[in-house]
Amino acid sequence: MNTTVVSDAVVADANTSASPLLVVEDLHTSFSIPRGEVKAVRGVSFELEQGKTLGVVGESGSGKTVLARSIMRLNLGNNVTTTGSAKFRGLSILDQPPKSMRQLWGNEMAMVFQDPMTALNPLVKIGRQVTEHVRHHLGISKKEARSLAVDLLNEVRIPEPESRLDSYPHELSGGMRQRICIAIALACEPTLLFADEPTTALDVTVQHQILNLLNREQETRDMAMVLVTHDLGVVAGRTDETMVMYAGNVVEKTSTHELFNNMQHPYTEALFRSIPKTSERSHTRLTAIAGRPPDLIDPPTGCSFSPRCPYVQPKCREEKPPLIPVNDGSHLSSCWFPVGTEENKAAFRKNVAEGLPQTLVVEEALAGGSSEGSES
């Protein structure tokens, strides 16, 4: 039911059941610009099984969108270099000529973009935009395509789908347009969906609906999904695994539940502490992350988070920590002084004593938070 109609020439399906759907190894993507080489993704590896959801979180510029687009082969231009390997059902995607990619796009892997206002062609009616690639891939008639489009629009809960097919994008709200984009992405029943900040441009009530819709479609179709977002709240309830990215690297990766209950990397902790939460009392002091993400033309030697890390030690500035398993084998983190360890606590005390600004900020916020809590 989940296997789609794809010729064997394009996808070697011999080992589909044995190996994960998507295997990415040591992926690097860089852009050459007049100032130098922007190393946007710097050695990312992960696996994704059929039907699972992977959340990718990080600040702007952490490389999460470039990663998704690299795997989709959507980074166009002569100044882009992608190395490493990305295997989709055993097929090495990065080596495919554009023509075979066209067989995969929509059919096997699809993408939902952040901005539903610009993702649709403003001059083309919804109906044609939903059915265009369906006709291309499945070779069905106009009439069949139209009835399929009605079904799809029904499925993404768009009221009065028949009349909507004759609307233009500007006649619909942002949430409705994102539903259309999802319908387009799902039309050929892909096995892998990239959702790149699918709800960032939307209101919270609409965001909730769209995420529910994506979740349901993913479950009923047994589709794998990569959910790219800057919002830890979005990944929390809706992904199986989460990968935290910083400056083009994966700094921590584990099951979402484990990540929130046992965060190991100082960046994950910093990201979590910096967001306001409705469960906290009002005026709770936020622990902002000092400084800014590094320049990716000339990333720092050693750990890339070291210039902003409250636990930074000389070793961090010299030697890049490897992404290695902690506790059980599935939790990966790259830090010399993981959160919660004795070494980490000692590093914190040492930095407080030395008066390191980024450490003092954290110490002050933690102290402020507890004193405010006791007052109330």
Please state, in angstroms and rounded to a whole number, the distance separating the CA atoms of residues 331 and 324.
Answer: 8
| Burial (Cβ within 10 Å: 0-12, 13-18, ≥19) of residue 262 | middle
For the bound state, the minimum distance from the C-beta of residue 278 to other proteins, rounded and expressed in Å, comes to: 5
Nearer to other proteins, 65 or 256 (CB): 256
Nearer to other proteins, 2 or 212 (CB): 212
Name the one range near other proteins by CB under 8 A: 84-92, 141-149, 200-208, 311-319.
Answer: 200-208
176 binds other proteins (CB under 8 A): yes
For the bound state, the minimum distance from the C-beta of residue 35 to other proteins, rounded and expressed in Å, comes to: 14
355 binds other proteins (CB under 8 A): no
Backbone angles phi, psi at 82, to 5 degrees: -120, 125
Provide the 10 A C-beta neighbour count for residue 53.
23
233 binds other proteins (CB under 8 A): yes
Nearer to other proteins, 107 or 129 (CB): 129
Query: From the list 66, 213, 312, 316, which residue makes contact with other proteins (rule: CB under 8 A)?
Result: 213
204 binds other proteins (CB under 8 A): yes
Please state, in angstroms and rounded to a whole number, the distance separating the CA atoms of residues 94 and 307.
Answer: 34
Please state, in angstroms and rounded to a whole number, the distance separating the CA atoms of residues 62 and 57.
Answer: 9
Please state, in angstroms and rounded to a whole number, the distance separating the CA atoms of residues 205 and 173.
Answer: 13
Nearer to other proteins, 17 or 220 (CB): 220
345 binds other proteins (CB under 8 A): no
183 binds other proteins (CB under 8 A): no
- Number of chain positions touching other proteins (CB under 8 A): 53
For 253-274, give the secondary structure using H, E and C.
Answer: EEEHHHHHHCCCCHHHHHHHHH
Q: Crossing angle of helices 204-221/174-186, nearest 10°?
A: 10
**Would you call 46 helix, strand, or coil by DSSP?**
strand
59 binds other proteins (CB under 8 A): yes
Name the one range near other proteins by CB under 8 A: 190-198, 286-294, 323-331, 350-358.
Answer: 286-294
Q: Crossing angle of helices 142-155/126-138, nearest 10°?
A: 120
Nearer to other proteins, 45 or 274 (CB): 274
Nearest 5°: the CA angle 356, 361, 367 is: 120
For the bound state, the minimum distance from the C-beta of residue 104 to other proteins, rounded and expressed in Å, comes to: 28
By the criterion CB under 8 A, which residues form the site for other proteins?
59-60, 157-159, 173, 175-176, 179, 203-209, 211-213, 215-216, 230-234, 236-238, 256-257, 260-261, 270-272, 274-289, 292
